[in-house]
Amino acid sequence: MRQFDLSPLYRNTVGFDRLFSMLDQLGGVEPASSYPPYNIERTGENAYRISIAVAGFTDKDLAIEVKENSLSIRGEKQPAEERKSDLLHQGIASRAFERRFQLADGVLVTSAALENGLLHIDLVREIPETKKPKLIPISTSGAQTIEAKKAA
């Protein structure tokens, strides 16, 4: 029996509703890059936040795009002016990146903010009225008879 590594699926999905439909697409998933590091957190019943560590990038170096059910974040440093000093050690990465997330149906990006080297992207899952659960009142035959008499 063939075993699948589902960790890329858990790391790159927001909303988690499309889990089973995405299993069919797993064959084409590439190994996930670890740069830049990020967190996905649930901030409410239908609200999520993706936080990506983008130290050294400015808002002009970053691009966020939502297309269909895919969220793409790209970072590319603009050419800097000539350095006035020699860089002895570079531990802060500034290489270009692209990070993609699959969004569940109804998940919308509501805002993005760059704060203290972290790019925060807030998302919300909006469930249409037609898909929300609704209670169906149960009537008894006696209640129908009384209502039918009042109407007549």
pLDDT, tens only, 116-134? 999 999 999 888 778 778 8
Number of domains into which the chain is organized: 1
**Domain coverage including residue 11:** 7-80+91-128
Q: CA–CA separation, 125 vs 9, rounded Å?
A: 18
pLDDT, tens only, 64-117? 999 988 999 999 987 766 667 777 887 877 789 999 999 988 899 999 999 999
141, part of any domain = no
Predicted model pTM:
0.64
27, part of any domain = yes
- Which residues does residue 30 pair with via DSSP β-bridges, in sequence order? none
34: left (phi over 0), alpha (psi -120 to 50) or beta: alpha
pLDDT, tens only, 14-56? 665 455 455 545 555 555 568 899 999 999 988 999 999 998 8
Q: What angle do CA 11, 31, 59 make, to 5 degrees?
A: 60
